[in-house]
Amino acid sequence: MKNIETKNLLLRPLTMEDTADVFAYSKSKNVGPRAGWKPHETIEETAEIMKTIFVGQENIWGIEKEKQIIGSIGLIEDPHRQNDQARMLGYALSEDHWGQGLMTEAARAVLAYGFDTLDLSLISVVHYPFNLGSQRVIEKCGFLYEGTIRRAEKIYTGEIRDIKAYSISSEEFR
């Protein structure tokens, strides 16, 4: 898996040495719940999640800015599609860095990588209806709205949420 450089960011594989940086933003109540995951309570919990979800995984990048990991972004399996050439985009950013266009910059670069390097035919993304920041990232990247899947996801609290679904094809991206 290649590193991806953008104007302000380096997207690179995460290692266990990044655990403290990932914990620093993942403990916030404003980050994980917007994406459906529980805020991390201890650095040990972050280390466990790093081992199982992030480290050594293809197409999951840490977002580095000024030598610090401030978020993550990845192209993961799409649970709604049986298509080897489709992947789903997911991302989270430290709230200290919100509102500066950084996730849009990272997402555009990952879309280009997905279509140009991985030769994907479609990239999807979903967000909860209340997550207007993520919705704007998705719109700014040029995704097309497909519809709302009602009562689609049970999150860690047991609450069932609707998800708004989007996708972009390789032809639309180009």
Ligand X SMILES: CC(C)(COP(=O)(O)OP(=O)(O)OC[C@H]1O[C@@H](n2cnc3c(N)ncnc32)[C@H](O)[C@@H]1OP(=O)(O)O)[C@@H](O)C(=O)NCCC(=O)NCCS
Contact residues for ligand X (CB under 6 A)?
31, 34-35, 91-93, 98-104, 127, 131-134, 136-137
Nearer to ligand X (CB atom), residue 103 or residue 123: 103
Residues in Cβ contact with 37 at an 8 Å cutoff, skipping those fewer than 6 apart: 155, 156
Give the relative orientation of helices 102-116 and 132-140 as an angle to the nearest 10 degrees.
50
Reported in sequence order, the residue ranges of the chain that DSSP labels E, i.e. its strands, are 4-5, 10-12, 60-65, 68-76, 86-93, 122-127, 144-154, 160-169
> 127: number of CA atoms within 13 Å, CB side?
18
> Minimum distance between the CB of residue 47 and ligand X, rounded to whole angstroms?
20
> Minimum distance between the CB of residue 38 and ligand X, rounded to whole angstroms?
13
> Minimum distance between the CB of residue 109 and ligand X, rounded to whole angstroms?
12
Percent helix / strand / coil, the chain, rounded to 5: 35, 30, 35
Strand partners, 86: 122
> Minimum distance between the CB of residue 86 and ligand X, rounded to whole angstroms?
17
Nearest 5 degrees, angle CA 87-CA 108-CA 61?
60
> Minimum distance between the CB of residue 105 and ligand X, rounded to whole angstroms?
7
Nearer to ligand X (CB atom), residue 45 or residue 153: 153
